[in-house]
Structure 1
């Protein structure tokens, strides 16, 4: 992942944490990492549920649901899940590196 992509993800996490905790950007309060992570996981879950619902609506033949929109939303869901997995892997690797440090 490119540096710009990582910075974008960090900014989205920070924005999500601010929204979850009700802190504005000008508030100057420190962000809670757990709140940011919970918010990001909630966003991933929301994207997946939305994509599943849209796919179900398409399969039931509801009007106004196009196949290309369903496919795009399913791909967005897949990409967001893959990003979540990669963030988890990086967190686990960082934790392992810290635990293996010699004092």
Structure 2
């Protein structure tokens, strides 16, 4: 159990490091950023890191925004808007689908971890 949790945490950290590097270079504004208001590493005091509940809420909000963006691009394409080409619509829909699947997977792992903790003998 501990190895599985360590593995998941290391995967999340690796993904976060990759996303920090790629989000800075991303040309589109529809990529999902886990925490858009990070404090800069200045000499003065830094803002405390958001808690688990705030981080989870931010991620769910970003997934919701991604789904809304994909839906609006799809509607624009269906109405014949020349700015909404098929490639952008398909990419936005795939991003939305991947973000939702990742959120569901995180939820499933959290429920499993909760159940494991609750079933531990005292």
1:51 alignment counterpart: 70
Distance 1:96 1:38, change over 3 A: same
Helix, strand or coil: the match of 1:56?
helix
Once the 2 structures are TM-superposed, how far is the Cα of residue 29 of structure 1 from its aligned partner? 2.0
Once the 2 structures are TM-superposed, how far is the Cα of residue 62 of structure 1 from its aligned partner? 1.0
> Taking structure 2 as the reference length, what is the TM-score of the superposition?
0.68
Report whether the alignment pairs 1:80 with 2:96: no
> Taking structure 1 as the reference length, what is the TM-score of the superposition?
0.80
Distance 1:65 1:5, change over 3 A: farther
The structure where helix makes up a greater share of residues is 1
Distance 1:47 1:63, change over 3 A: same
TM alignment of 1:1-103, pairs within 5 A: 5-7=11-13, 8-9=15-16, 13=34, 15-16=35-36, 19=37, 24=39, 26=41, 27=46, 29-103=48-122
Give RMSD over aligned pairs. 2.6
Distance 1:47 1:92, change over 3 A: same
Structure 2 unaligned residues grouped into runs of 5+: 1-6, 21-32
- Matched length: 97
1:38-88 Cα distance to aligned partner (Å, 9 max, x none):
000000000000000000000000121100110111011000000000000
